[in-house]
Structure 1
Amino acid sequence: MHVVVCGAGIAGLTLALQLHRQGTDVTVVEAAPGPRTEGWMLDFFGPGHAAAARMGLLPRLQELSRPVEELVWAGARGRPRARVPWARFAAALDGQLLSLLRPDLERALREQVAGRVTVRHGRRVVGFADGPGPLRVHLDDGTALEADLLVGADGLRSRVRTAAFGPVPLRLLGMHTAAFAVEDAALHAALGRRLWLTDTLDRMLGLYALEGARVAVFTVHRTPAPAPPADARAQLRAVFAGLGGLVPAVLARCPPPERIYCDVVAQVEPPRWSTGRVVLAGDACHAVSLVAGQGASLAVAGAAELARQLGTAPDLPTALAGYERTWRPVAAARQRAGRDGLEWFLPSRRTTLWARRAGLRLLAVPGAERLLLRGLLGGPDPPGGALPGGRRTGPDRGRGRGAEPALEAPVGRLPRGRGRHTA
């Protein structure tokens, strides 16, 4: 069996690794010219953590994890409103929590597939023909790959999804998010090993220290705009003007728009995850958004479940049906939890802001952190009984400029253009 995976992100690499271990021939096609080095912090726990343990990845992920000692929420003037030791969150999850940069998670997976799986960087899938005989996957260099299965692991705006099912509209959640990095030794020293967040209405800015004097910045704010702005820096400076504390230093050093990741906050819910010999994985079929979090965790665990079904089912249709039947309820529960928690995640009313502060103070009560986290996670348990998890502290995406509008293409023909995990 030969499987072509479109996208060398977390879901694509996880699937490639597990299929290789099952004796399947895998080719990964990725539009980016090489591995991504930019990316943002994510909290990795729940089903992805459990799957990584079964895959033998935890020792390496623990080596790559970034220590966080405390979360601090600061008011509009920069004064701390709540402080929570990171150890309380870890204790609530029985220590099964890692803080990782997204590129480090991809790095650990890439190390496992190196020399075992063919990864073709700088190549894009432009179409496929799923007729009699082998499935033919066409690349932008004019070549074609023959395969038994094509997997679209190419992100929120998946072109494989569009080609297979036609346009699937995004569910916009009324927010924009942005992420970038600045160089500031004083700001870096002030942060230490803390994750610093604004505790403000309709807008939130978060900071954490990287290597050297670099500081990662992520933001989210409410807006009805259906697409990201042409000038992300101008928007951020306008939205976050007037906040105190560490915010003015960040805005003063905000990089030019082409160095800022900026996008809408959205989910995607295609009517089906597979058709014929084409199937979707990761954000291509179950993007949960940064509000719900745990996109990376679901990507790892969902890809592992797809590999398991392919390795155990008697035939391909049974495997693909079993994968969607098993994993869609888990992803759908996290998507619903994210939508239901919009007001808590980013308050638009002062009463919610005050209630959230009270909830954070409850974390000082022994045992309360476990109840609060389980209430936030919600939903059915995935296979193996692990809680759905992997909540992010910021956009777990790499660097890029803005988002593309929904793309339309005839079934079986992929549109051209950029994309986060487009290949």
Structure 2
Amino acid sequence: MRAVICGAGIAGLALAGRLYDVLGWDVVVLEKAPRPRAEGYMIDFFGPGYDAAEAMGVLPWLRELSHPVSEAAFVDEHGRCRARLGYDRFARSLNGRLLSIMRPDLELALRERLSFAVDLRFGVGPARIDPRSQGVRVTLTDGSVLDADLLVGADGLHSTVRAMALAEERRCVRHLGHHTAAFTFDDPLVHAEVGDRFCLTDTVDRQMGLYALRDGRVAAFAVHRSADPGRPEDARAALRHEYGSLGWLVPRALAACPPHSRVYYDQVAQADPPSWSRGRVVLVGDSCQAVSLLAGQGASLAVAGAYVLADQLAGARRVEDALRGYERLWRPVVRDRQRAARRTARWFVPATAGRLRVRRAALRLAALPGASRLAGLSTAGRRRPVLRQLAVASR
């Protein structure tokens, strides 16, 4: 059996490893970018993806690449802390099963775990998709042709595979009224000031967060309210325009912001296509289950969703049955997280000073004994079957 996976991000790499290592499939991974993505922000990795990473044997490498974070600190324009949330309490609420890791490092760990037998190609993607009775023919942007038993769209929120084979983007993507960006820069003063904290501006309508990385760089994360679903031609100029009024260390971060090509910038949105598969074409990761950064578990769901899909392919007699089983099992989990994100959207970046004060009060309450357990469960969503239960639910 051969699988062609479009997208060498978290979901695509996780699925490629499972299909080759466990099922023994011939796997080709296509990535339209010329090289692995270096841009991205720090993520809190926990939940079903953590369980899947442990089952896949990649968890020790993720621990090595993770960053210790003592707290999330919300600071005013002078750098004074207005509210904080200790990571140790959050980690205890999850029984210690929590890592803070840069998104590109998570991709690196999954990529380096791939067998050399997996054909990983950069700078190429799908140009045409032709269904066959027992498979798919994919014409690539370089003119070559691949025949596969399964085509996987793991190519993100703006999926080309989804647009070609299932539904156009306007039917699948729900914008949540925010834009987000991430970049890294060098500044020893900022690095020393941030230390082992995740520092965020305590501000209305827009927020910038800073992490100090172990190699001396600083990672910046930004999110602001915007009704415009488009993306700017120059991300650096847009960031300087949107965040130029903020104080504290933000002016230094903006001054050191790299050019447009080295800045990650996108809308905050969710993916909810009418169906996750058609024939021998299936979606995985953000192409079908983007929950947005407001939910906080996109990377975790990407790894876990790939795990469940591979498990269904291993246990079903027909590929089509496996694809339906995967969506039936995993879509309710994703929708739960998407609903949670929409409920909390107005508090993620408060639109008024009054809501900002309410958020500060809520964070102070979260520091009380027992509250961290409730916060952990709230972040994880309603209780769902653990991954190993999902993996055998249809057997």
Return the letter of the residue paired with 1:242. Answer: S
Shift in Å, 1:231 = 3.3
2:322 maps to 1:314:
no
Q: Residues 178 and 219 of structure 1 are in contact (CA less than 8 Å); yes or no, is this contact kept in structure 2? A: yes
CA distance in 1, matches of 2:282, 2:14: 15
Q: CA deviation at 1:375?
A: 2.3
CA distance, structure 2, for counterparts of residue 260 and residue 357 of structure 1: 30
Map residues 248-397 of structure 1 onto 2, 5 A cutoff: 248-384=251-387
Alignment match, 2:18? 18
TM-score, structure 2 normalization: 0.93
Partner of 1:74: 75
Is the 2:17–2:115 contact (alpha carbons within 8 Å) kept by the matching residues of 1? Answer: no
* TM-score (norm: length of structure 1): 0.87
Partner secondary structure for residue 244 of structure 1? coil
C-alpha contact 2:167 2:273 (8 A) present in aligned 1: no
Q: Look up the equivalent residue of 2:9 and give its one-letter code.
A: G
> SS at 2:100's partner residue?
strand
How far did 1:152 drift?
0.5
Equivalence for 1:119:
120
Cα distance, 1:27 vs. partner?
1.3
Aligned pair 1:183/2:186, yes or no?
yes
Q: CA deviation at 1:383?
A: 4.4
Q: Which residue is equivalent to 1:89?
A: 90
Pairing 1:208-219 to 2, within 5 Å after superposition: 208-219=211-222
Deviations 1:283-311, CA, capped at 9 Å, x for gaps: 01111111112110000000000000000
Counterparts of 1:379 and 1:93, CA distance in 2: 14
Distance 2:237 2:35 in 1: 30
The answer (yes or no) to whether the contact 1:329–1:380 under 8 Å persists in 2 is no
Q: Secondary structure at the match of 1:113?
A: coil
Q: Secondary structure at the match of 2:322?
A: helix
| Structure 1 unaligned spans of 5+ | 388-423
Pair 232,31 (structure 1): closer, same or farther in 2 beyond 3 Å:
closer
Q: Cα–Cα, structure 1 residues 293 and 124, in superposed 2: closer, same or farther, change >3 Å? A: same
In the other structure, the counterpart of 1:198 is 201
Distance 1:134 1:202, change over 3 A: closer
Q: Distance in 1 between matches of 2:67 and 2:180?
A: 23
Task: For 1:366 and 1:174, locate their aligned partners in 2 and report how far apart those are by CA, in whole Å.
Answer: 34
Structure 2: segments with no counterpart, 5+ residues: 391-395
Separation of aligned partners in 1, 2:379 and 2:110: 29
Which residue of structure 1 lines up, in the alignment, with residue 64 of structure 2? 63
Is contact 1:27–1:117 with CA below 8 Å preserved after alignment? yes
SS of the residue corresponding to residue 308 of structure 2 reads: helix
Alignment correspondent of 1:39: 40
Pair 1:122–1:191, CA change in 2 (3 A): same
CA distance in 1, matches of 2:326, 2:215: 43
2:70 corresponds to 1:100: no
Alpha-carbon separation, structure 1, partners of 2:93 and 2:285 = 26
1:45-97 Cα distance to aligned partner (Å, 9 max, x none): 00000111111111111111111122211124432101233211111111000
The answer (yes or no) to whether the contact 2:184–2:219 under 8 Å persists in 1 is: yes
SS state at 2:293 partner = helix
Amino acid at match of 1:196: C
Q: Which amino acid aligns with 1:13?
A: L
| AA aligned opposite 1:350 | A
Q: Which residue identity is paired with 2:81? A: P
1:165 maps to 2:166: yes
The answer on whether the counterparts of 2:175 and 2:269 sit within 8 Å (CA) in structure 1 is yes
State the SS of the aligned residue for 1:272. Answer: coil
